[in-house]
A and B are shown apart, each in its own frame.
Chain A
């Protein structure tokens, strides 16, 4: 019986825009176990981004409960939430969000800077290990503007791994990448998932969602479907099937 990493019960989120109240999430129940690779799907306005923000402890629910790795998110202060983000979560964004005047290595070190228990030597070692895990050992000291889109996203993924989180949250992580590069990133994520990493991935692209283990569909603030993925795509095989190009 694997561990429940994420447990959401009757979660509601309202936004107040002037006089109008927007009910972004209207009562969500969701459970994600360790080792899953979950796709959160839906069109704009479906509430999937809001869901991700709450899962990422960047926003608080209006009502309902959210347990992350056993900790209830509801009563935590801003600083406690920050600590939670630092220890338990890794983020991968659509537009990479790397610091532009810092090297890849230093970018990956960033979350550990905010962790006072990690000294600089250990920080460096962990960052190097993370970059190795994503296949970028030879680009450690490059600046982001010297890296391709795919490489930058890999650095972002390495950054999300460096503090050994319980779950990686990805928001349209392949949105800015071409098909080949997207598949390469998905290959990397599948590999990490294979090694035991839990990943929650927000996407609106069906073919990307087919790389994952379970799909959760949102619409108008509700979950309208949940299904395990059958005939899951293998990114490495699909890559081989693509027309041959120069690797990035």
Chain B
């Protein structure tokens, strides 16, 4: 029965770890916005998630306007340009990035405005020197002082802080999402990068179910805008966040299955242990079986008797194993700080598998018991 206990416990722990990691990734991903869709210039690259080819100049504001007009499955769209450099306040400086966006961007990327305001249409039209800054920038440049109304210099361009972004923490790929400055895209294009094209487009689908449609529509719109004929390669790539979530999900699914399979093997060993015990039990009780047969027990009665014993053995071991597994999971979680999720599904599964093991591995010994010849059995030493 020890084999069953260990097997069940390890299945529970492995599944919990697998499920836990999957859920934590999903949680982090959805914090980034699963309706998120990116379009960037450059030809299709397999395996790349966001390999930017920001030197290509094929995307412009008119693409964004077209998308806004033509794509019903898209709720918000924003151009995106960025640059890295030093942000300076007084005698403090901090290397960070500046994102040039419109004010739909906050919605798209699920940034909240902690205090202050975002920029107005007018400010966008007039390349106004305004910005919003993230928490990490606040901490490193302003400390406890209120940044709003103050000026930050980015690559020597002074920007008035009009708002502070709400905290977001790290994303699923370990990047600090609070370490940035946001300004009107026109401002960044003209005053910092001196370009007229845009580097990428961020958009959100109206709902998760419309992701596929949204990707289709953006691609169509861009093909039209860029006058790409049918059969020609696109000069852009469209990627959705939910694709990434799915990829990570399926990776962690595979991992969960793998872990489950490995621990399932130990469960198999436990089952073999039960079979051995039952065989020995049958042999030890040969005379008893002969007696039961002689007083009128039928083959079936004997079969059921031993089968039930086998099931009880494995179910009992399973219950202990499940308790042990849950305990071990908690301990692992607190020591290793791994995310763990114990689902009812895994517990029920483990239970059912135990019963099945009891039946399957107990069957052959029970069968053997039932088909003993009473005379020989009675004489057995």
Q: How many chain-B residues does the 8 Å CB contact rule pick out?
A: 17
Interface residues of B in 343-381 (CB under 8 A from A): 374-375, 378
Verify B375–A85 contact, CB threshold 8 A.
no
A86 contact set on B, CB distance < 8 A: 295-296
Q: Kindly list chain A residues whose C-beta atoms are within 8 Å of the C-beta of B288.
A: 99
Q: Is B297 touching A93 in the complex (CB atoms < 8 A)?
A: no
* A97 (CB) vs chain B CBs: closest residue: B291
Question: Would you call B374 and A58 a contact (CB within 8 A)?
Answer: yes
Q: What does the 1/0 interface line of A52-94 toward B look like (CB < 8 Å)?
A: 0100101100000000000000000011001101110001010
A111, closest chain B residue (CB)? B295
Is A115 interfacial (CB-CB < 8 Å)? Answer: yes
**Once the chains are docked, how many angstroms separate the CA of A163 from the CA of B297?**
13
Q: Is A159 an interface residue (CB 8 A)?
A: yes
Question: Within 8 Å CB of B294, what residues of A?
Answer: 56, 58, 85, 91
Q: How far is the CB of B207 from chain A (nearest CB, A)?
A: 62
Task: Tell me, yes or no, whether B287 is within 8 Å of chain A by CB.
Answer: yes
B293 within 8 A of A: yes
The reply to whether the CB of B301 lies closer than 8 angstroms to some CB of chain A is: yes
Q: Does chain A have a CB within 8 A of B299?
A: yes
Instruction: Given A59-B375, A99-B291, check contact A79 B299 (CB 8 Å).
Output: yes
User: A58–B292 Cα gap in the complex (Å)?
Assistant: 12
B298 CB contacts on chain A under 8 angstroms: 78-79, 82-83, 114
Q: Which of B297, B300, B375 contacts A53 (CB 8 A)?
A: B375
Instruction: Looking at the assembled complex, report how far the CB atom of B369 sits from the nearest CB atom of chain A, in whole angstroms.
Output: 14
Closest chain B residue to A156 by CB distance?
B291
The residue from A53, A87, A93 contacting B296, defined by CB atoms under 8 A apart: A87
Name which of B290, B295, B378 has the most chain A CB atoms within 10 A of its CB: B295
Across the interface, name the chain B residue whose C-beta is closest to A82.
B298
| B297 (CB) vs chain A CBs: closest residue | A114
Q: Tell me which residues across on chain A come within 8 A of B296, comparing CB atoms.
A: 82-83, 85-87, 111, 114-115, 163
Instruction: Report how many residues on chain A are interfacial, defined by Cβ distance under 8 Å.
Output: 21
Q: How far is A79 from B300 in the complex, measured between Cα atoms in Å? A: 9
Among residues of A, the one whose C-beta sits closest to the C-beta of B295 is A111
Are B374 and A114 touching (Cβ within 8 A)? no
Determine whether the beta carbon of B287 is less than 8 Å from that of A97: yes
A-B contacts, 9 listed (Cβ < 8 Å): A58-B374, A79-B300, A82-B293, A85-B295, A97-B290, A97-B291, A110-B295, A114-B301, A115-B296
Name the CB-closest residue of B to A87: B296
Known: A83-B298, A87-B296, A159-B295. 14 other contacts (CB 8 A): A58-B293, A78-B299, A79-B298, A82-B296, A86-B295, A86-B296, A97-B291, A99-B291, A110-B291, A111-B295, A114-B292, A114-B298, A114-B301, A163-B296
Q: Do B295 and A93 touch (CB < 8 A)?
A: no
Taking the closest CB of chain B, its distance from the CB of A31, in whole angstroms, is: 24
Tell me which residues from 260 to 306 in chain B have a Cβ below 8 Å from any Cβ of chain A. Answer: 287-288, 290-301
Q: Which residue of B lies closest to A162 (CB)?
A: B295
- Whole-angstrom distance from the CB of A190 to the nearest CB of chain B? 24
Q: How far is the CA of A87 from the CA of B298 in the complex (A)?
A: 13
Which residues of chain A (111-128) have a CB below 8 Å from chain B?
111, 114-115
Known: A97-B287, A99-B288, A110-B292. A82 touches B375 (CB 8 A): no
Q: Collect the chain B residues with CB atoms within 8 Å of residue A114's CB.
A: 292, 295-298, 301
User: In the assembled complex, which residues on chain B have CB atoms less than 8 Å from the CB atom of A78?
Assistant: 298-299
Chain B residues contacting A110 (CB-CB under 8 Å) are 291-292, 295
Q: How far, in Å, is B297 (CB) from chain A's closest CB? A: 5
Closest A residue to B291 by beta carbon equals A97
Query: Closest Cβ of chain A: how far from B339's Cβ, in Å?
Result: 49
> Which of B141-178 touch A at CB < 8 Å?
none
Shortest distance from the beta carbon of B93 to any chain A beta carbon, whole Å:
84
Contacts of B295 in A (CB 8 A): 85-86, 91, 110-111, 114, 159
Q: Which residue of A lies closest to B301 (CB)?
A: A114
Chain B hits for A99, CB < 8 A: 288, 291
Which among B287, B293, B296, B301 has the highest number of chain A CB atoms within 10 Å?
B296
What distance in Å separates the Cβ of B295 from its nearest Cβ neighbour in chain A? 4
